[in-house]
Amino acid sequence: MAHGEPSRQLFGSELVNRLAAAAAADAQDHISKGEYLTAAFSAAHHVRLTGEHPWGDDAQAQMAQLLQAEIQDDLRADNDDSAASRAATYQMLTDTVPWASDELDRMFTALKDIPETPGAYAELGIVDQIADYLVLGGEVFWTEDEYQEMRRTAIVDFQHRMDANEEALAADRLAFIDVLQEGIEAMARASA
């Protein structure tokens, strides 16, 4: 599936391109200040939605290298949830999976830790966690109703970001939606 295709089907290419450009501009701004680790967040969303990295190979390598170092530090410190979130950013940014299987298992375990409370899947933090899990290659383990809760939560927050004119953050929410939609489409194809 092409980069950002699920989002393009839901929201149209014009909006996806506009928000991807906002994410790229935010990344470029941080890169120009030497803030490569901060830039990686928006850069990853731009890459997820377009497959492009207009900031050049040197900046791309800097962001990837710093992210990978942070992930390794997190894993050494047993901060598996932080490592997993950064690993998802790394994977969206680079389209590579450099983690050993035991490291990936630790990240999956951290990301699958969902509170067993009503409405848990309607919390934005859980939506982010599940999106990270899917980016890293995790298998769907939630119900259709839980998926719909996550999708609704992401779309509502996306709309809030759009209303507040926070387009770089809206691109982040759009990347969540893109990942969730791709995951559910893959599940539907597998069960067909």
Please report which confidence band the pLDDT of residue 191 belongs to, taking 50, 70 and 90 as the band edges. low
Residue 184 confidence (pLDDT) above 90: no
pLDDT of residue 86 exceeding 80, the answer is: yes
> Does the pLDDT value for residue 186 go beyond 70?
no
CA torsion, ordered 117, 79, 90, 44, to nearest 10 deg: 50
What is the spatial distance between Cα 24 and Cα 46, in angstroms, rounded to a whole number? 6
What are the tens digits of pLDDT across the range 143-157? 888 988 998 999 999
Question: Given a cut of 90, is residue 190 above it in pLDDT?
Answer: no
Instruction: Give the rounded percent of residues in the chain with a pLDDT score beyond 90.
Output: 76
pLDDT at 97: 86
pLDDT tens track for 108-136: 999 998 988 888 999 999 999 999 999 99
The per-residue pLDDT for 140 is 84
Check residue 192 and give its pLDDT. Answer: 61
pLDDT, residue 170, reads 95
Contact 150, 122 (CB under 8 A): yes
13-27, 36-50, 70-84, 109-123: the lowest-pLDDT one: 109-123
Rounded Cα distance between 148 and 145, Å, is 5
Report pLDDT digits (tens) over 45-74: 999 999 999 999 999 999 999 999 999 999
Average pLDDT, the chain: 92
In order of 7, 53, 77, 130, 179, the CA distances from 1 in angstroms are: 11, 18, 36, 20, 11
**At 86, which helix (H) or strand (E)?**
helix 80-94
Residue-wise DSSP of 99-110: --HHHHHHHHHH
User: Can you give the pTM of this predicted structure?
Assistant: 0.92
